[in-house]
Amino acid sequence: MTTPAPRRTTAKSIADDLRAQIKSGALRPGDVLPTSRELAEHYGVTLKTVGSGIDLLKTEGLVIGEQGGRRRVRASRPIVWNLTRFERGKRRDSSAGDDWAAAIRDAGREPEQHVSVQLEQADAQMSAWLQVPIGSEVVQRVRLRTVDGQPYQLSTSSFPMQIAEGTPLLDDGDISMPGGILAAIGHPQLQVRDEITIRMPSPEETDQLQLPPGTPVAEHVRIGYGEIGPVRVMVTIAPGDRHRLVYELEV
């Protein structure tokens, strides 16, 4: 009887083995992987094969590279973002922060928001969302949200100029008011519509959110409606490794 030849170790089999160790907890979030030379000796392969196996794990977002060539198991602390409760009912906006920041503090984390204001002309998509003519002026409040000092969300809120003109919506900085700015200026949101798309990030989003390779994002679009129609559209880009999206619905 012929003895079967030993199975050849490939980049995929190395990735499979390390992935299994990560999922089992043998390699924990934040752990440094063995060096390429150590892995090559362990698996009996070349450095090139090891590198190809590690690249597979980087593409999956399980491993990140660091300066000096070391690799770590990705460590992240996701936030639970309850989109049913977010901005619903009695908002917790105050001079200390908005409804989002209040939820982050409730979770024992430290929120911060960096906000700038810009004027843009509505393209076809914005025209459809806000029900304004293409080319009409809209006010955009662009914010980078961080949690414990790490970028967690890019969020851009757009308002028709006829609603924003002469209000704090045109002021730079992280401004919040009891009940929310829209309610304070006489245009409260009475209902919202959510649209969620899962996709890969743009290069700009990857840079701003400091995303490791292979990290998908959720694009959350929330259109707020008042008595006269849409009063705001908010587009939030949320990294997939830092969020758990929650909805609670009555059935």
Q: Which fold has domain 79-246?
A: Chorismate lyase (3.40.1410)
Angle between helices 47-59 and 36-43 (to 10 degrees): 110
**What residue ranges of the chain are covered by domains with CATH 3.40.1410.10?**
79-246
Q: What is the pTM of this model?
A: 0.77
Structure tokens at 7: 């199975």
For residues 89 and 92, give the distance between their C-alpha atoms in angstroms, rounded to a whole number.
9
Q: Which fold has domain 11-73?
A: Arc Repressor Mutant, subunit A (1.10.10)
Residue 170 is given by DSSP the state G
Q: Can you give the pLDDT of all 251 residues of the chain as single tens digits?
A: 444 445 678 999 999 999 999 889 899 888 999 999 999 999 999 999 999 999 888 887 788 887 666 888 887 778 999 998 888 766 666 666 788 888 899 889 999 999 999 999 999 999 999 999 999 999 999 999 999 999 999 999 999 999 999 999 999 888 888 878 898 899 999 999 999 999 999 999 999 999 887 789 999 999 999 998 999 999 999 999 899 999 998 88
**What residue ranges of the chain are covered by domains with CATH 1.10.10.10?**
11-73
